[in-house]
């Protein structure tokens, strides 16, 4: 089967690697160049979306910030999973918030902002602190403003107003004001759903961010009640979208009660641990779902931690004695995800020790969250 992935980054690359044993041939459409490329070698295989679609049995996506006209063309082919609505919703916080409300899942109180009046009403109704997020094009904490009780409200508005007036998205762009959620921790749930509505759901992962970028994810065991809440919310969202593929949901955990932060209609960075820690990894399960194949078990076979390799950092080769290293073959740049490390152990205590061992091999300024991750497990 031939699968075309919209986007030619590391997620398409890891799908290709996971799909090879099933004889699934993955090509990637690079939305910037318009080329169809091999997702691992990046060799150019062809040019143009129409050409890519013609040669594909199934189309999917590795990211949600895709132009609506591209999504429309893919949808019209009848081969696109999870499809236009799911990708549009994941890429637009306004649609995403409406979906969460429709699915009846708890999420941060919010208001849509398109003008100064909306902004003032949000401050009055939701109160400070407020988090403001661009509806379109936000990722890794980009396109966000924080409004605290001591912030200069006029200055923040000036910045937002300028952002709205100069957005390449024009009138489609807006800002979502959200209550500040005083969470104890952030967790995410990843699961696969097929066209019949069957699901395979991975255990929750605890996520630690540094400067708005995911740093470490740990999947080492979870409170049953919290897992059950997350799974119920996953099913509500996935059923509402009649979703096919892997879907990720990020949550705030406030004293054991979950609120959805956001969804990602795709394989997700916080699910990379499944490559070594689960019976069948998220990349393979996504392909199984979109290709109409039976889903694989999402059972966690051992406690696993994933450490992102971000920016211009060095990883000594000795790390390979303790862990699996996945490089993305990307040029290092500040803030850019260029690879990750998966660390497995027989139990949570052993994983804590391994995190401490690996922290000693790495520069702690380059990998700031490993010690924190070890502390959360201990
Ligand atoms: P991603 O790379 O996950 O797509 P993003 O840029 O889309 O990131 P969010 O996940 O919405 O943005 O926010 C980034 C981080 O900011 C969150 O992981 C969380 O730590 C913090 N944050 C976001 N919204 C809130 C909120 N309402 N209350 C408290 N903290 C928040
Ligand atoms: Mg996020």
Q: Kindly state if the Cβ of 140 falls inside 6 Å of ligand 1.
A: yes
Q: List domains and CATH numbers for the chain.
A: 2-80 (3.40.50.20), 109-179 (3.30.1490.20), 185-377 (3.30.470.20)
pTM (2 decimals)? 0.97
Joined together, the tokens standing for residue 68 give 């609506």
Residue of 109, 110, 141 to test ligand 1 pocket, by largest number of atoms within 8 Å of CB: 141
**Tens digits of residue pLDDT in 174-211:** 999 999 999 999 999 999 999 999 999 999 999 999 98
- Residue 189 · residue 218 · CB < 8 Å: no
Percent of the chain clearing pLDDT 70 (strictly above): 100
Query: What's CA 230's distance to the chain center, in Å?
Result: 16
* 258 strand-pairing partners: 253
The pLDDT assigned to 17 comes to 98
Q: Kindly state if the Cβ of 141 falls inside 6 Å of ligand 1.
A: yes
Q: CA 131 to CA 177: how far, in whole Å?
A: 6
Residue of 142, 183, 212 to test ligand 1 pocket, by largest number of atoms within 8 Å of CB: 212
Reduced to 3 states (helix: H, G, I; strand: E, B; else coil), residue 156 is: helix
Distance from the CA of 262 to the center of ligand 2, in angstroms? 6
pLDDT band at 141 (very low <50, low <70, confident <90, very high): confident
Q: Kindly state if the Cβ of 138 falls inside 6 Å of ligand 1.
A: yes
> What residues contact residue 45 under an 8 Å CB cut-off, 6+ apart?
27, 35, 36, 37, 38
Query: Counting atoms of ligand 1 from 1, which one is nearest the CA of 144?
Result: 6
pLDDT band at 280 (very low <50, low <70, confident <90, very high): very high
pLDDT band at 142 (very low <50, low <70, confident <90, very high): confident
Q: Kindly state if the Cβ of 222 falls inside 6 Å of ligand 1.
A: no
**Tens digits of residue pLDDT in 85-110:** 999 999 999 999 999 999 999 999 99
Asked whether the predicted pLDDT for residue 298 surpasses 90, the reply is yes
Span 297-310, mean pLDDT?
Answer: 98
Asked whether the predicted pLDDT for residue 241 surpasses 90, the reply is yes
Phi-psi region of 255 (alpha: psi -120 to 50; beta: other; left: phi over 0): left
Tokens 């999870």 belong to residue: 82
Please classify residue 63 by burial: count the beta carbons closer than 10 Å to its beta carbon, then call 0-12 exposed, 13-18 middle and 19+ buried: buried
pLDDT band at 376 (very low <50, low <70, confident <90, very high): confident
Distance from the CA of 53 to the center of ligand 2, in angstroms? 30
Span 329-354, mean pLDDT?
Answer: 97
Asked whether the predicted pLDDT for residue 222 surpasses 90, the reply is no
Q: Kindly state if the Cβ of 212 falls inside 6 Å of ligand 1.
A: yes
Whether residue 82 has a cis bond before it, omega within 30° of 0? yes
Nearest residue (by CA) to ligand 1, atom 13, is 141
The pLDDT assigned to 45 comes to 97
Query: Counting atoms of ligand 1 from 1, which one is nearest the CA of 182?
Result: 29
What is the residue-averaged pLDDT of the chain? Answer: 97
Asked whether the predicted pLDDT for residue 71 surpasses 90, the reply is yes
**Tens digits of residue pLDDT in 114-140:** 999 999 999 999 999 999 999 999 887
Asked whether the predicted pLDDT for residue 368 surpasses 90, the reply is no
**Tens digits of residue pLDDT in 5-34:** 999 999 999 999 999 999 999 999 999 999
Ligand at minimal distance from the CA of 90 is 1
Ligand at minimal distance from the CA of 207 is 1
Query: Counting atoms of ligand 1 from 1, which one is nearest the CA of 180?
Result: 28
Query: Counting atoms of ligand 1 from 1, which one is nearest the CA of 141?
Result: 6
Distances (CA, A) of 42 to 7, 15, 158, 330: 11, 14, 42, 11
Distance from the CA of 252 to the center of ligand 2, in angstroms? 10
Nearest residue (by CA) to ligand 1, atom 17, is 212
């Amino acid at each position: 089967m031939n699968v075309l992935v919209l986007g030619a980054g590391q997620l398409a690359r890891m799908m290709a690697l996971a799909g090879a044993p099933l004889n699934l041939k993955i090509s990637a459409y690079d939305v910037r160049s318009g080329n169809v490329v091999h997702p691992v070698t990046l060799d150019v295989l062809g040019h143009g979306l129409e050409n890519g679609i013609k040669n594909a049995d199934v189309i999917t996506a590795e990211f949600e910030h895709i132009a609506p006209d591209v999504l429309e063309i893919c949808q019209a082919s009848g081969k696109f999973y999870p499809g236009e609505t799911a990708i549009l919703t994941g890429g637009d916080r306004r649609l995403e918030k409406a979906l969460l409300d429709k699915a009846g899942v708890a999420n941060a109180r919010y208001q849509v902002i398109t003008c100064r009046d909306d902004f003032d009403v949000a401050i009055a109704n939701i109160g400070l602190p407020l988090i403001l997020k661009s509806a379109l094009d936000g990722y890794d904490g980009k396109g966000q403003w924080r409004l605290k009780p001591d912030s200069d409200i006029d200055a923040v508005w000036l910045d937002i107003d300028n952002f709205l007036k100069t957005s390449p998205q024009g009138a489609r762009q807006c800002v979502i004001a959200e209550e500040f959620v005083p969470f104890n921790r952030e967790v995410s749930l990843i699961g696969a759903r097929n066209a019949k509505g069957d699901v395979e759901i991975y255990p929750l992962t605890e996520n630690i961010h540094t400067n708005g970028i995911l740093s470490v994810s740990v999947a080492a065991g979870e409170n049953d009640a919290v897992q059950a809440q997350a799974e119920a919310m996953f099913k509500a969202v996935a059923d509402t979208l009649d979703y096919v593929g892997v879907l990720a949901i990020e949550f705030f955990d406030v004293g054991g009660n979950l609120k959805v932060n956001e969804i990602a209609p795709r394989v997700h960075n916080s699910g990379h641990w499944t490559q070594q820690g689960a019976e069948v990894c998220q990349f393979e399960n996504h392909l199984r779902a979109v290709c109409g194949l039976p889903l694989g078990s999402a059972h966690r076979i051992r406690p696993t931690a994933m450490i992102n390799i971000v920016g211009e950092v060095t990883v000594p080769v000795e790390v390979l004695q303790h862990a699996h290293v996945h490089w993305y073959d990307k040029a290092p740049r500040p803030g850019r995800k260029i690879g990750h490390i998966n660390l497995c152990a027989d139990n949570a205590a052993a994983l804590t020790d391994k995190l401490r061992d690996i922290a000693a091999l790495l520069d702690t300024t380059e990998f700031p969250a490993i010690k924190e991750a070890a502390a959360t497990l201990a």
